[in-house]
């Protein structure tokens, strides 16, 4: 799961001016200055994929002398598990995306376009859910919906006198996986992507529909939603892409019932004895072309931003008044959603971390603090925390430098090939973490880099930097685009050389954006599981992988405590990033707003309103 | 600008301005009764009373932030009222007392936004058909009416074009067509011309007048541009700081401003201080700053109670004439100094100083005064307005 504050593709400002027409006189050494950057991006994004492709024909194990043949492909296609895994992946992804699109669109419209009371609280709750690691949220759902001991299940059974020791709900199921995803990733992600583009819409477009005779509902149906269609479709497609990439929720909830998606199937084949590297790689190669097509399609869809740019003159942002009764009714639904789907599992996770047996409320003295003391005194915890810290800091430093360099070249340089860089830098979004890990595994094991990278913290840092490349670069681009090149040009005319202008003028101006990307990279780094799980060893195991191990080896009590710690860290770090990016956005928003008084228009404090 | 003044001045004698304007004059369509709107503690609109008559074009004129757009939005139902009441044709649209407010879609009022708000996801024809769709007008009738209104606004050739491919002027015509297609009782226009270039602006001014005359639709429009208000509107209301300063025809406003704000806001003025004496039937002002200077006769009987008081008299540069200097000043003559000149080809613009106030004066190109020259201005006592000092 990748993190985004300023949603990467949607917030992306219109791409900079078209490349200058080729001039013969410019062809020379200067034309090749873009080559190093193209090479860097190509190495980061293409090498793992190319290694996967080559090694899908390699019938020996990583690190052994290569023998090439079609055996892997043949075996993979002969294995009925492959078809099942692909089918499961698809039906999970489609179902989730459809449900989440409806919920996220409704929530986004309420948050961004109406005067629903507490809309800010609903929005922050969704950010909150977005930053909690999916695994932590899933542990909360297990406390609630475990078929035999889940609190909701036992409560419902006793209320309605249902006999038996199971049900009525089961989190270890197709719908359980969907619920866990909707709660922790799909709906929050989509809302976060859709809300900003809805906010950019001038309320004049809706007000015109109202005076033309359309009521609130028809205005939203015929004007608001069609106008937001590119943003909604873009968010849905991105969320579908992410759906196909996920690993840990399916691993935790699907494995016990033998329900496999392609990422857990690959993991399964690799951790089998003997490991089936070749077949796993072949399965991965099946997925990648589909993902690349989806990623490019998503990009093209979002790039068509003509809808939003119209009406930027005379922009106004008056929220639609829902009426005194209706605004509280819709607020009730929104609060209910937040409470049930976000608050309940988060609370259950915290309660679960204090239980002697995870989810068992009916045993005598169910509560204890020993999970926490055990965890804190566990050596594994200490070394993992240290590893996570190293990985987080390392990935942040390396990531920010690389993302900034790439983004700066794409947005500001006149280099040939920057279009290629732009596309290449977006492609990792199509690369599931588990496949990236697998590709890097071939690299680490099959080359002299083995001693440095395999099983080491450095190797994990590299994996995370690549995994976050697409979003990190998009966010950097958004930050750079906001700063007018004239600041830079002014510095240049004042006598600053390009690098000095970058250092003294551009960097201070985009400081907040860089800080936000840095914080988010850190956040991703410490919660990333899928890209590092195949690369980690006992010495380099980070907290996220430890959490996965605890969760899947029925040490759920300590897993819950660790889940709370991870959630606390990621939420705090994530909200810091949002504040950094949001503060900047709000300042811009205040400037863009024509009449500052308008924002208060829903709550008049004048004499009439007071009386 | 020069032309518009001449036109309004010419029709000053007749109370009704140009023929054909305001067909049914005195029937009130919309009435605002003590309407206020607060943003925070500040009154954006402060107890406004105004009547808009059936068939007229009414302009709300004022500097930005004076509350004119908020007033417009309250009439449209897009902004709630904090005080007062708005009625249209006897029907209550909104009443702050009973907290009742008719939804915007039920008012049958059309609005053309400053940004036009033409929906970019629909074609021109779809944009214009939308209000009819909302009113469940049958498809065949819809098509006919859309066609007709597009012809009226001159956009029939663009019917199937995407709204995003239009220029600003064309978008505005689409917005107008969309507003007119359902025959609204009232058409509101928010700064309709401010986003157009100068040439289009003049063209659209005439267009708006033509639509008013041909279709008889009552129009209320908001503008910060005096020329725009004066050329297009039958009556003008000047707003400042949320209050309505004065309502009247352009000539009334220009010749008899009711408040100092209106006096200074509309056009340019020069002023001199003096003492007023009233002799029973007429008044005169002694100007101490000007040796032997005197302005007389003043016939406004309202001046009687200013007898013996210090007053400031205001006159407009376009009402004075530069005359050759003589030995002694005749009555209604005041000396002025040229402090700057600008040659515009067809005429001169002189900045003159009169008794401490400066103003810009147009003069024929043959004059050719130098900066520093003293000239004599002939003031017309009929066009002097007198205010307590």
**In this complex, how many residue pairs, one in chain A and one in chain B, have their CB atoms less than 8 Å apart?**
129
Do B56 and B217 touch, CB atoms closer than 8 A?
A: no
Chain B touched by A228 (CB under 8 Å): no
Secondary structure of A480-493 in HEC code, one letter for each residue: HHHCCHHHHHHHHH
Which chain A residue is nearest to residue B47, measuring alpha carbons? A608
Which one of B41, B76, B182 has the shortest CB-CB distance to A606?
B41
Is B36 in Cβ contact with A213 (below 8 Å)? Answer: no
Tokens of B344: 């515009």
- Residue listed under structure tokens 């006189």: A25
Taking CB atoms and an 8 Å cutoff, what residues of chain A touch B65? 595
Report CA-CA distances (Å) from B224 to B69, B116, B252. 10, 17, 19
Residues of chain B with pLDDT under 50: 1-24
Q: How far is A604 from chain B (nearest CA, A)?
A: 6
Which chain A residue is nearest to residue B121, measuring alpha carbons? A227
State residue B294 phi and psi, 5-degree precision: -155, 140
**Could you give the strand order of the β-sheet that contains B235-240, starting from the edge strand earlier in sequence?**
B109-112, B186-190, B218-223, B57-61, B235-240, B243-248
Taking CB atoms and an 8 Å cutoff, what residues of chain A touch B130? 209, 212, 214, 222
Tell me what pLDDT residue A183 has. 92
According to DSSP, the β-strands at B347-354 and B100-101 are: unpaired
Rounded-to-integer distance, Cα B348 and Cα B364, Å = 6
Count Cβ atoms within 10 A of the Cβ of residue A497 and give its class: 0-12 exposed, 13-18 middle, 19 or more buried: exposed
Partners of B378 in the β-ladder: B321, B333
Chain B touched by A306 (CB under 8 Å): yes
Tokens of A564: 């709370």
Q: How far is B8 from chain A (nearest CA, A)?
A: 31
Taking CB atoms and an 8 Å cutoff, what residues of chain B touch A319? none
| pLDDT tens digit sequence for A64-101 | 677 777 777 777 777 788 888 889 999 999 999 999 99
| pLDDT tens digit sequence for B263-274 | 888 888 888 888
Residues of chain A with pLDDT under 50: 1-29, 306-312, 584-611
First to last CA, chain B: 31
Taking CB atoms and an 8 Å cutoff, what residues of chain B touch A313? 114-115, 195
Report CA-CA distances (Å) from A362 to A17, A149, A173, A355, B53. 66, 9, 25, 11, 78
Chain B touched by A214 (CB under 8 Å): yes
Record the pTM: 0.76
Tell me what pLDDT residue A62 has. 64
Taking CB atoms and an 8 Å cutoff, what residues of chain A touch B135? 213
Is A229 in Cβ contact with B39 (below 8 Å)? Answer: no
Do A481 and A16 touch, CB atoms closer than 8 A?
A: yes
Taking CB atoms and an 8 Å cutoff, what residues of chain B touch A306? 120, 164
Is A205 in Cβ contact with B40 (below 8 Å)? Answer: no
Is B38 in Cβ contact with A605 (below 8 Å)? Answer: yes
Q: How far is A608 from chain B (nearest CA, A)?
A: 5
Do A546 and A381 touch, CB atoms closer than 8 A?
A: yes
Tell me what pLDDT residue A33 has. 61
Tell me what pLDDT residue B60 has. 93
CA nearest neighbour of B334 among B275, B290, B274, B372: B290
Is B114 in Cβ contact with A600 (below 8 Å)? Answer: no
Which chain B residue is nearest to residue A213, measuring alpha carbons? B105
């Amino acid at each position: 799961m990748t993190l985004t504050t300023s949603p990467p593709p949607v917030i992306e400002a219109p791409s900079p001016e078209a490349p200058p027409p080729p001039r013969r006189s410019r062809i020379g050494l200067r034309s090749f200055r873009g080559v190093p950057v193209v090479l860097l991006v190509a190495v980061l994004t293409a090498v793992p994929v190319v290694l996967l492709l080559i090694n899908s024909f390699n019938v020996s194990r990583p690190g052994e002398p290569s023998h090439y043949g079609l055996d892997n492909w043949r075996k993979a296609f002969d294995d009925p598990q492959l078809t099942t895994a692909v089918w499961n992946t698809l039906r999970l992804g489609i179902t989730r995306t459809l449900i989440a699109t409806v919920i996220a669109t409704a929530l986004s419209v309420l948050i961004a376009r109406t005067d629903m009371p507490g809309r800010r609280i609903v929005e922050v709750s969704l950010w909150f859910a977005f930053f909690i690691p999916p695994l932590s949220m899933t542990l909360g759902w297990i406390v609630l919906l475990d078929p035999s001991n889940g609190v909701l299940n036992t409560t419902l059974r006793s209320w309605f006198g249902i006999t038996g020791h199971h049900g009525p709900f089961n989190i270890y199921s197709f719908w359980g996986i969907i619920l866990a995803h909707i709660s922790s990733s799909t709906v929050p992600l989509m809302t976060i992507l859709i809300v900003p583009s809805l906010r950019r819409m001038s309320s004049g477009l809706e007000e015109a529909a109202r005076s033309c005779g359309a009521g609130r509902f028809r205005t939203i149906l015929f004007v608001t939603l069609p106008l937001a269609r590119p943003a909604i479709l873009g968010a849905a497609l991105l969320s579908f892409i992410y759906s196909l990439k996920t690993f840990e929720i399916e691993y935790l909830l699907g494995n016990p019932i033998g329900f496999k998606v392609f990422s857990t199937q690959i993991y399964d084949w690799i951790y089998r004895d003997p490991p089936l590297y070749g077949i796993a790689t072949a399965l991965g190669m099946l997925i990648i072309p589909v993902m690349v097509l989806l990623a490019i399609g998503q990009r093209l869809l979002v790039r068509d931003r003509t809808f939003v740019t119209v009406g930027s003159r005379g922009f106004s942002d008056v929220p639609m008044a829902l009426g005194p009764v209706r605004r509280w009714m819709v607020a009730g639904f929104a609060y209910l959603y937040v409470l049930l789907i976000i608050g309940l599992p988060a609370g259950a996770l915290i309660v679960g971390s204090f239980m002697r047996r995870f989810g068992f409320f009916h045993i005598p003295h169910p509560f204890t603090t020993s999970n926490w003391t055990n965890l804190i005194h566990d050596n594994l915890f200490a070394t993992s925390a240290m590893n996570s810290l190293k990985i987080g800091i390392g990935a942040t430093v390396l990531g920010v430098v690389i993302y900034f360099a790439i983004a700066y070249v794409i947005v500001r340089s006149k280099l040939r090939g920057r279009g290629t860089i732009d596309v290449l830098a977006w492609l990792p979004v199509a690369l599931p973490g588990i496949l990236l890990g697998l590709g890097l595994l071939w690299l680490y094991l099959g080359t002299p880099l083995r001693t440095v990278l395999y099983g080491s913290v450095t190797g994990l840092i590299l994996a995370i930097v690549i995994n976050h490349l697409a979003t990190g670069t998009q966010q950097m681009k958004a930050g750079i685009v906001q700063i007018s090149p004239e600041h830079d040009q002014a510095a240049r005319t004042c006598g600053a050389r390009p690098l000095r202008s970058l250092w003294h003028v551009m960097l201070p101006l985009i400081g907040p954006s860089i800080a936000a990307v840095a914080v988010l990279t850190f956040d991703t780094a410490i919660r990333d599981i899928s890209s590092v799980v195949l690369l980690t060893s006992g010495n380099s195991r980070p907290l996220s992988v430890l959490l996965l191990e605890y969760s899947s080896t029925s040490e759920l009590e300590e897993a819950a405590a660790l889940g709370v710690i991870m959630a606390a860290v990621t939420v705090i770090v994530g909200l810091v990033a949002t504040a950094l990016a949001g503060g900047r956005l709000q300042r811009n928003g205040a400037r863009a707003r024509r009449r500052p008084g308008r924002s208060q228009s829903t709550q008049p404090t004048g004499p009439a309103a007071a009386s | 600008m020069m032309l518009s003044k001449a036109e309004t001045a010419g029709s000053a004698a007749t109370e009704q301005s140009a023929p054909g304007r305001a067909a049914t004059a005195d029937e009130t369509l919309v009435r605002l009764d003590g309407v206020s709107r607060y943003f925070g503690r500040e009154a954006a609109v402060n107890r406004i009373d105004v009547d808009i008559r059936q068939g007229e074009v009414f302009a709300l004129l004022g500097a930005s932030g004076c509350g004119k757009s908020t007033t417009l939005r309250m009439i449209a139902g897009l902004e709630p009222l904090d005080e007062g009441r708005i009625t249209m044709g006897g029907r209550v649209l909104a009443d702050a007392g009973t907290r009742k407010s008719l939804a915007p879609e039920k008012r049958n009022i059309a609005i053309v936004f400053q940004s036009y708000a033409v929906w970019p996801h629909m074609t021109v024809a779809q944009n214009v058909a939308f209000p009819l769709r909302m009113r469940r007008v049958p498809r065949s009738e819809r098509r006919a009416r859309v066609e007709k209104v597009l012809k009226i606004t001159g956009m029939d050739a663009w019917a199937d074009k995407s709204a995003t491919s239009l220029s600003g002027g064309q978008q505005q015509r689409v917005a107008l067509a969309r507003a007119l297609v359902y025959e609204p009782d009232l058409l509101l226009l928010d700064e309709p011309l401010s986003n157009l270039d100068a040439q289009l602006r003049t063209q659209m001014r005439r267009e708006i007048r033509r639509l008013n005359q041909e279709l008889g639709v009552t129009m209320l429009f908001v503008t910060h541009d005096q020329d725009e208000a004066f050329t297009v509107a039958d009556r003008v209301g000047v707003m400042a700081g949320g209050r309505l300063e004065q309502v009247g025809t352009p000539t009334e406003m220009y010749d008899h401003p009711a408040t100092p704000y209106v006096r200074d806001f509309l056009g340019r003025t020069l002023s001199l201080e003096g003492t007023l004496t009233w002799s029973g039937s007429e008044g005169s002002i002694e100007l101490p700053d000007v040796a032997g200077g005197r302005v007389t006769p003043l016939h406004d009987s309202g001046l009687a109670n200013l007898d013996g008081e210090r007053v400031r008299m205001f006159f407009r540069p376009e009402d004075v004439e530069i005359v050759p200097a003589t030995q002694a000043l005749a009555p209604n003559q005041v000396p002025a100094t040229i402090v700057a000149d600008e040659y515009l080809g067809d005429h001169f613009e002189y900045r003159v100083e009169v008794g401490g106030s400066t103003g810009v004066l147009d003069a024929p190109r043959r004059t050719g005064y130098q900066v520093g020259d003293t000239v004599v201005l002939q003031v017309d006592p009929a066009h002097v307005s007198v205010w307590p000092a």
